[in-house]
Structure 1
Amino acid sequence: MGTATSSMAAKFAFFPPNPPSYDIIVDEATGKMKFSDVNYQRDNVDVLKLSTNRGNEIAAMYVKNTSASLTVLYSHGNAADIGQMYHTFFELSVHLNVNLLGYDYSGYGQSTGKPSEQDTYADIEAAYKCLEEMYGVKQEDTILYGQSVGSGPTLELAIRLPHLRAVILHSPILSGLRVMYPVKRTLWFDIYKNIDKIPLVDCPVLVIHGTEDEVVNFSHGKRLWELCKEKYEPLWLKGGNHCNLELYPEYLRHLRKFISAIEKLQRPRNVSDQKPEEQSDQTPNNADQNEEKSRPSTDCKDKGRPSFGHREKSRLSTDSRDKARASIDKREKSRRSIDRHIKARNSTDHSEKARNSFDRLGDMVRSVGLCNVDCLKQTAAEV
């Protein structure tokens, strides 16, 4: 079912730039990989190829900032690739004083495979694994940044990292289907069910959205912020649309403010980070406290201990109740079995209806590109 869902969603959710905006070549002088079609190549940028657990090889770029204490893992918008995002990533690294890893989804840029929901989850997992193993970045020093469609893999990874430092959602979606229709229930064939995942994120979350977003309605970002456990002051850019938020002075200003606040917060601490002596020091104290607490409880039990006869009557009464309960349980199991059979039949009917309506929905949703790069260039040219 998961594969079918991902395959159906891929029909309308992904728009890789065609052709890709870059190629990867090997520099003869250094032996390092670099982008062939990017002006002003930077010495502090590593170009990478990473293997995913779904058999694809994805392209990535890592911007090193020697004075940074935090690292941003950036999942870009729909109709973009990291060649187009190259200078944006570099500028964010400089202005926010962070290291930054950006990557292309399967089927985007020079990444192999075809894009799907499940592949993007494997893609961001490979990118995060690279940060851990190649650059020694810990999750408590990592900020996940998801833009538009990138909010999907971002939140999927965020709910699996309990010590994550923070999350940034830029023009995020509640779910793929909700971009087109304000449905109240999550349907089985929907993609990127962010509305169900955001309440499970334990770290601070910053949401950025334009109030005049014509692709992903402003209500998406607002609702996600309302559902956050740890809300940070959101950035609602008045008049901003889906494509031009980076052009607003408030954008960088608010991001810098957020990063500064996150740096000042106490660093989330893994149990494994705790020193052995600290653990051993705490154990005797806890044991003593538990022992002291248990003594009065034991005394009460001694005073209130019933006679043997009373215990026997209680045991017989309990046996009778257990037998009655077992009989009720059997009847309940029988009813549940019948209910499941009926529900399964109804579910099949609903699935058939969903499949029939999906094709009609697909043509409409395919026209929606969740992107930022092409229209951003146009807006910048006009300015």
Structure 2
Amino acid sequence: MDMVERFPGRAGVWCLMLTALLLQGCSSLDAWSRGKVYRPTPVAESTAWQAMLAQRPEVSSFEVPVGEGEQVTVLKVPAVAGASSRIRVFYLHGTFRHAFQNLPKAVPMQAAGLDVYLPDYRGWGVSSPRVPDEVSIHEDAWAAWQAVQQRANAEGGPPVRWVIYGHSMGSAVAARLARRVAGQQAYCALVLESALTSFTDVATEAVGWLGHGLVALGSQRMALSEDIGKVDPPVWFIHGTLDKTVPWSLGRRAYELAPEPKHWVALPLGHSNLQQDDTGTYASAWREVAAHCAQP
């Protein structure tokens, strides 16, 4: 569930968030507004985190240093307990829910034979406490990406192939990362689910020209539209036609900006429940991604 699903009205939430952006001349109000935009979910007690992991003994975690003495936590979710796949997903989540809360979305990826690595940005889970911003989120994604590459290289054996995946806000983070490593054969597929073109466009869809104008006054953009045309294909877009958080029209706009080859998968579902698809289409998309990445 992303930030706007936490409140009764999408337009009302954006009005609240956008009003906060008007007040960003004061650092404390800036931090408050960023908290409302990203709604990070920290886990304050390490014992609570350990209790969560105890529910999933096949899931492990490790820390990655970032910034000035801070760290992000990465969850590793194997497709097969006790084994490692040569095709792996680097999962960049959206607002609100931390990595452990996003594990249900990893199930179809595991079923397709893919290991999944889920970093929590600072401010989420047991990563270092912080009121996040766009810069810190991109920094955290980059630090975690470098760390999983180093771990994979240290294993030896056949090269690991990576799928970069982003959901909702994470789609913009994924597109920025994919653009940063473009031309390096660093990943075999980019998968963007419930993708937004930018925070500005989401706000405009919610409250019209007022939303567009107010977001322009703030510093948080998450403009996937600036990066998606400069990534390495193929790109898969998966979107719910009933999505009331990021309208499917924005996902389709992002699709149109992406390079070929690309794939569009639409499902009659909402924003964060596409993995619950009972037609087999969502699972089939992940098998298709896995089959592509398994090619020589």
Structure-2 separation of matches of 1:119 and 1:92: 29
Q: Determine if contact 2:191/2:237 at 8 Å carries over to the other structure.
A: yes
Aligned equivalent of 1:242 = 271
Question: Cα distance, 1:245 vs. partner?
Answer: 1.0
Instruction: Give structure 2 stretches of 5+ with no counterpart.
Output: 1-26
CA deviation string 1:68-96 (max 9, x = no partner): 2211100112111122123543x245302
**Amino acid in structure 2 at the alignment position of 1:154:** A
Structure-1 separation of matches of 2:68 and 2:188: 27
Question: Cα distance, 1:190 vs. partner?
Answer: 4.6
Q: Determine if contact 2:225/2:254 at 8 Å carries over to the other structure.
A: yes
Aligned equivalent of 2:19 = none
Q: Determine if contact 1:67/1:97 at 8 Å carries over to the other structure.
A: no
Structure-1 separation of matches of 2:115 and 2:191: 15
Structure-to-structure mapping, 1:102-251, within 5 angstroms: 102-112=118-128, 113-136=130-153, 141-162=161-182, 163=185, 164-181=187-204, 187=216, 189-238=219-268, 240-249=269-278, 250-251=281-282
In the alignment, does 2:92 pair up with 1:63? no
What's the TM-score once normalised by structure 1's chain length? Answer: 0.59
Aligned equivalent of 1:325 = none
Aligned equivalent of 2:50 = 35
**Amino acid in structure 2 at the alignment position of 1:165:** C
**Amino acid in structure 2 at the alignment position of 1:236:** A
SS at match of 1:159: helix
Aligned equivalent of 2:8 = none
**Amino acid in structure 2 at the alignment position of 1:229:** P
Higher relative contact order (CA 8 A, sep 6+): 2
Question: Cα distance, 1:233 vs. partner?
Answer: 2.3
In the alignment, does 2:31 pair up with 1:14? no
Q: Determine if contact 1:10/1:117 at 8 Å carries over to the other structure.
A: no
Question: Cα distance, 1:221 vs. partner?
Answer: 0.8
**Amino acid in structure 2 at the alignment position of 1:244:** N
Structure-2 separation of matches of 1:54 and 1:203: 35
Structure-2 separation of matches of 1:150 and 1:36: 26
Distance 1:54-1:143 versus aligned 2 partners, 3 A rule: farther
Structure-2 separation of matches of 1:93 and 1:225: 21
**Amino acid in structure 2 at the alignment position of 1:251:** Y
**Amino acid in structure 2 at the alignment position of 1:171:** S
Aligned equivalent of 2:21 = none
**Amino acid in structure 1 at the alignment position of 2:262:** Y
Question: Cα distance, 1:212 vs. partner?
Answer: 1.5
Distance 1:141-1:9 versus aligned 2 partners, 3 A rule: farther
Distance 1:7-1:72 versus aligned 2 partners, 3 A rule: same
**Amino acid in structure 1 at the alignment position of 2:71:** E
Distance 1:207-1:8 versus aligned 2 partners, 3 A rule: farther
Structure-2 separation of matches of 1:8 and 1:198: 30
CA deviation string 1:174-229 (max 9, x = no partner): 11121111579995735111111100012211001111211111111101111111
Question: Cα distance, 1:41 vs. partner?
Answer: 2.5
- Aligned CA RMSD, in angstroms, stands at 2.9
**Amino acid in structure 1 at the alignment position of 2:252:** K
Aligned match of 2:286 in 225, 230, 255?
255
Structure number with higher helix proportion: 1
Aligned equivalent of 1:305 = none
Instruction: Give structure 1 stretches of 5+ with no counterpart.
Output: 27-33, 267-383
Aligned equivalent of 1:270 = none
Question: Cα distance, 1:12 vs. partner?
Answer: 4.0
Bigger CA radius of gyration: 1
What's the TM-score once normalised by structure 2's chain length? Answer: 0.74
Distance 1:10-1:76 versus aligned 2 partners, 3 A rule: same
Question: Cα distance, 1:134 vs. partner?
Answer: 2.0
**Amino acid in structure 2 at the alignment position of 1:218:** W
Distance 1:7-1:174 versus aligned 2 partners, 3 A rule: farther
Question: Cα distance, 1:99 vs. partner?
Answer: 1.7
Distance 1:139-1:153 versus aligned 2 partners, 3 A rule: farther
Structure-2 separation of matches of 1:63 and 1:175: 29
Structure-2 separation of matches of 1:200 and 1:160: 9
